[in-house]
Chains A and B, each alone.
Chain A
Amino acid sequence: MTELYQTQRSMRRMRKQAMDRGVIAILDVGTSKIGCLVLRFDGSEKFLGADGVGSLAGQSSFRVIGAATTRSRGVTFGEIDAMQETERAIRTAVQAAQKMANVRVDHVIACFAGARPRSYGLDGQTELAESIVTENDVARVLAACDVPDYGREREVLHAQPVNFAIDHRSGLSDPRGQMGNSLAVDMHLLTVDSSAVQNLLYCIKRCDLELAGLASSSYVSGISALVEDEQELGAACIDLGGGATGVSIFIKKHMIFSDSVRIGGDHITQDISKGLKVPLNVAERIKTFYGGVMATGIDDREMIEIGGDTGDWELDRRTVSRAELIGIMRPRVEEILEEVRVRLDGAGFDQLPAQQIVLTGGGSQIPGLDGLASRILGQQVRLGRPLRVQGLPQAATGPAFSSAVGLCLFAAHPQDEWWDFDVPADRYPARSLKRAVKWFRDNW
């Protein structure tokens, strides 16, 4: 645990360095595409509007100066499985973004979808040394959380305090400076497979980049796709990616649950490829051009040229009706949504006061998906697109980029996590100095 604490702290230091230098890169390692954005931080006052109010209420202290995406290689289910290939894809994206930004980036914040995230709710309680809560008390109560045994092959990705309680007053977002006798905290802990993280770290290191932060893709796409009151009142963000579908539940502007379903858009493509006996790239093209999940009467008459390059006239001249295509796609989409439903139910999503569901990610562009989703997930379903940030090219404003944009916001305003607080003094192995000082102060 301390080792992880140290690595996370060093990543925070890296992030600070990158902020000082003013340039940081965002890397979204997905199954179908790898996106790289280069951000420039100049301080918020530089982008003030005419009326003195910054655009996006001051959120946009940064500007996207370089953006590039490339087809992902060697990634399945949001995890790296062929490192050389992934490394090449990352190099391609980073180099293109650097070229557009015309600046060299050394620090990168990365996110990934897979690696079997698992959420834990932790709580801890401590008596206050003085009657006023200090930073040190917060650190102590965070350290007092009893960490579950999440397994040796896993690592903590996020550890965010989501709720503080002083005595019997709960629901505090920031207890510092308040008075009370005991302080309790609820913490959300997200663990992932450490091998996936190690692979990603290795790939990024091979590209001569320094990792300044690591985030879960479902978390950051929730940041960008949910509007503020959805985050406040309670909502689930479903990021339909290529190889994995991320689920994250937000309430009171904190993520309280995150999970991922290991099915995604690539599986729909594979179904089409198998069902229609076409190559994968043709299946992908057919899916994006003609795909859908709600069949209507006209779809029976709309014939799609499948095409082919075999030389066999019969095979190359096949056509298929759109209804047939929908018949292939719909079960898979339903399966994804059912799985999501199971995860949401397991997390107790139906207990939340508001049950808004936001679909985002590249897969959410399937026509008719919101209708299908509202049948499976509940009535309050909408399609979400990422927040607009300064300088983002038009091509990168679609829902497929919600995790990249969310990572930008994460880079600009990271939430306080466990490792942002100092280790309390009594947890230090060598606490003699502090005790000596305390003894000195007490006795003189």
Chain B
Amino acid sequence: MQPVTPPQPQHDPAPSRFSYRLNRWMLTPFYRRALRTGVPALVMLGTVIWYVSDEARVNQITDTAREARQAIEERPEFMVKVMSVEGASPELAEAVRSDLALRLPMSSFEMDLDAMRLKVEAFNAVASANLRIRSGGVLAVEITERQPAVLWRSADGLSLLDAGGHMVAGASLRADWPDLPVIAGPGAEMVVPEALELIAAAAPLKSRLRGLVRMGERRWDVVLDRGQRLLLPEDQPVGALERLIALDTGRDMLQRDITVVDFRNPRRPTVRLNNNAIHELQTIRDIESGDLAR
């Protein structure tokens, strides 16, 4: 009989049980994928973690990155050398410059144009601003100024408002702005557009117009010279004013000795006369009735 465990031949083409199993194991899709992607990923992750675990190396990396970034940012192509402010009065331009306080030359990467625009638009006199960096290293600030439309007299003094009722600047003297109408009264600054409409409607009275007064935060009084007041209604004041002006042009009403024309009820306009005028009227009526003796 041959030995129970025969001597192994020199070359056995059959795989051993272990290598057969290993081979099958490697053919299993899950392990194959794990070996093909998982193991390299793990190795790379491990290397990165090992490298990062030393602070000096991390610092070195960040320093190098920062230097490279700085070198790019400070190239002359990206430097802003000049700032030009356009569309603003010289005082406003000066104020904008001092407010932005840029230390030129400066890299355009360091500029936050949005924040700067908000800063410029915070000025009362600025309606809108547009900032951009032009070629040649110029920071162009294009400003649209607010145009003063009325003078507003309040408890704090005179100030300039634009057509939307927005504060433009303060004013010291009425005489500095002779061509602007004056509005006053509490709440007048809220309804500047209506006031401007009234002023436009009151163009025939322009020479006599002193200003508008807001009464009780609901209606307007037109103040003329010689202490005359035109009391306008709450709704449709422009129409009422136009009718009043028509009365004036037809009858010369405002030339007469009248203190107040009350148009608050447009169906029933009322006038108030001066004391002298009342006496005169009384006298005339007495004469007509023949009661002159009294």
* Residues in chain B near residue A179, CB distance under 8 A: none
Asked if A95 meets B13 with Cβ closer than 8 Å, knowing A104-B28, A207-B20, the reply is no
B28 touches A88 (CB 8 A): no
Asked if A95 meets B21 with Cβ closer than 8 Å, knowing A88-B12, A89-B14, A104-B28, the reply is no
Cβ of A293 to closest chain B Cβ, rounded Å = 33
Counting CB contacts under 8 A, is A103 at the interface? yes
Closest residue of A by beta carbon distance from B12: A88
Asked if A103 meets B21 with Cβ closer than 8 Å, knowing A70-B13, A88-B12, A91-B15, the reply is no
A98 touches B24 (CB 8 A): yes
Closest residue of B by beta carbon distance from A92: B14
B23 touches A92 (CB 8 A): no
B15 touches A95 (CB 8 A): yes
* Residues in chain B near residue A232, CB distance under 8 A: none
* B170-225 CB contacts (< 8 Å) to partner A: none
Counting CB contacts under 8 A, is A178 at the interface? no
* Residues in chain A near residue B24, CB distance under 8 A: 95, 98, 104, 208
0/1 per residue, B10-46, Cβ < 8 Å to A? Answer: 0011110100110110011100000000000000000
Cβ of A281 to closest chain B Cβ, rounded Å = 14
Closest residue of A by beta carbon distance from B19: A95
Number of interface residues of B (CB under 8 A): 12
* CA gap between A207 and B21 in the complex, in Å: 8
B12 touches A95 (CB 8 A): no
For B17, give its contact among A91, A94, A103 (CB under 8 Å).
A91
* CA gap between A282 and B17 in the complex, in Å: 31
* Residues in chain B near residue A319, CB distance under 8 A: none
* CA gap between A104 and B25 in the complex, in Å: 8
A98 touches B27 (CB 8 A): yes
Counting CB contacts under 8 A, is A102 at the interface? yes
* A67-95 CB contacts (< 8 Å) to partner B: 70, 88-89, 91-92, 94-95
Closest residue of B by beta carbon distance from A101: B27
A208 touches B21 (CB 8 A): yes
Asked if A91 meets B14 with Cβ closer than 8 Å, knowing A98-B23, A207-B20, the reply is yes
* Residues in chain B near residue A94, CB distance under 8 A: 20
* CA gap between A102 and B27 in the complex, in Å: 7
* Residues in chain B near residue A104, CB distance under 8 A: 24, 27-29
Closest residue of B by beta carbon distance from A104: B27
Closest residue of B by beta carbon distance from A207: B20
Number of interface residues of A (CB under 8 A): 15
For B23, give its contact among A70, A88, A95, A206 (CB under 8 Å).
A95
* Residues in chain B near residue A206, CB distance under 8 A: 17
* CA gap between A376 and B208 in the complex, in Å: 145
* Residues in chain B near residue A88, CB distance under 8 A: 12, 14
* CA gap between A89 and B20 in the complex, in Å: 12
* CA gap between A104 and B27 in the complex, in Å: 5
* CA gap between A91 and B21 in the complex, in Å: 10
* CA gap between A207 and B17 in the complex, in Å: 8
* A39-88 CB contacts (< 8 Å) to partner B: 70, 88
0/1 per residue, A208-243, Cβ < 8 Å to B? Answer: 100000000000000000000000000000000000
* Residues in chain B near residue A92, CB distance under 8 A: 13-15
* CA gap between A98 and B24 in the complex, in Å: 8
* CA gap between A70 and B29 in the complex, in Å: 26
Cβ of A365 to closest chain B Cβ, rounded Å = 24
* Residues in chain A near residue B29, CB distance under 8 A: 104
Cβ of B287 to closest chain A Cβ, rounded Å = 124
0/1 per residue, A86-119, Cβ < 8 Å to B? Answer: 0011011011001100111000000000000000
Cβ of B22 to closest chain A Cβ, rounded Å = 10
Cβ of A95 to closest chain B Cβ, rounded Å = 5
Asked if A103 meets B27 with Cβ closer than 8 Å, knowing A95-B20, A207-B20, the reply is yes
* Residues in chain B near residue A103, CB distance under 8 A: 27
Cβ of B28 to closest chain A Cβ, rounded Å = 5
* Residues in chain A near residue B12, CB distance under 8 A: 88
Cβ of B8 to closest chain A Cβ, rounded Å = 11
B20 touches A91 (CB 8 A): yes
* CA gap between A426 and B22 in the complex, in Å: 49
Interface hub of B12, B14, B21, B29 (most chain A Cβ within 10 A): B14
Interface hub of A95, A102, A206, A207 (most chain B Cβ within 10 A): A95
* Residues in chain A near residue B23, CB distance under 8 A: 95, 98-99
* A281-300 CB contacts (< 8 Å) to partner B: none
* CA gap between A206 and B23 in the complex, in Å: 15
Closest residue of A by beta carbon distance from B25: A104
* CA gap between A98 and B23 in the complex, in Å: 9
Interface hub of A70, A91, A102, A208 (most chain B Cβ within 10 A): A91
Cβ of B261 to closest chain A Cβ, rounded Å = 98
Q: Which residues of A contact B (CB under 8 A)?
A: 70, 88-89, 91-92, 94-95, 98-99, 102-104, 206-208
Pairs of residues from A and B, 6 with the lowest C-beta to C-beta distance, nearest first: A88-B14, A104-B27, A92-B14, A91-B20, A104-B28, A95-B15
In the complex, 21 of the A-B residue pairs with CB atoms within 8 angstroms, ordered by the A residue number, are A88-B12, A88-B14, A89-B14, A91-B15, A92-B13, A92-B14, A94-B20, A95-B15, A95-B20, A95-B23, A95-B24, A98-B23, A98-B24, A99-B23, A102-B27, A103-B27, A104-B24, A104-B28, A206-B17, A207-B20, A208-B24
Q: Which residues of B contact A (CB under 8 A)?
A: 12-15, 17, 20-21, 23-24, 27-29
A sample of 7 more A-B contacts (CB under 8 A), given A91-B20, A208-B24, is: A89-B14, A91-B17, A92-B14, A94-B20, A98-B24, A104-B24, A207-B20
